[in-house]
Amino acid sequence: MSRANFTTARPVGYSLLIDPRPDGSIVGYYAGRAIAEAVVDHFGRRFTYAGVAPRLRNGGYDVDALRPGEWIVEPGLIYYADPGESGGLLKRLRGSDHHSAVGPA
């Protein structure tokens, strides 16, 4: 018997970085755009490239698949909050695995 899912998904806008600017070298290309190794957002926070954002069947972003500290940058890249040299909570929450990365094209 199938079950209906009545939960409301988190709005994608809550998972997008505001005014990201490239920081560092170019590590590849995706959807015709350069992938920066890191970005700095509107508030001066630094985020490191983690991979390509997973998508739902309808083409939207699967924000529920994001791990703590991960954010989406258009055209569909994931960046994570840079935990710094000391480790910190975000590094422990994320563990050591990353999303699949896209290489130079």
Secondary structure string (H, E, C) spanning 1-66: CCCCCCCCCCCHHHHECCCCEEEEEEEEEECCEEEEEEEECCCCCEEEEEEECCECCCCCECHHHC
Give the residue-averaged pLDDT of 34-61: 95
Per the CB < 8 A criterion, the answer to whether 39 and 20 are in contact is: yes
Of 34-38, 83-87, 88-92, give the range with the top mean pLDDT: 34-38
Name the 3-class secondary structure at 87: coil
Element (H, E) at 73: strand 70-73
Binned at pLDDT 50, 70 and 90, residue 10 comes out as: confident
Mean of pLDDT over the chain: 81
The residue ranges of every structural domain in the chain are 20-94
State residue 85's pLDDT score.
44
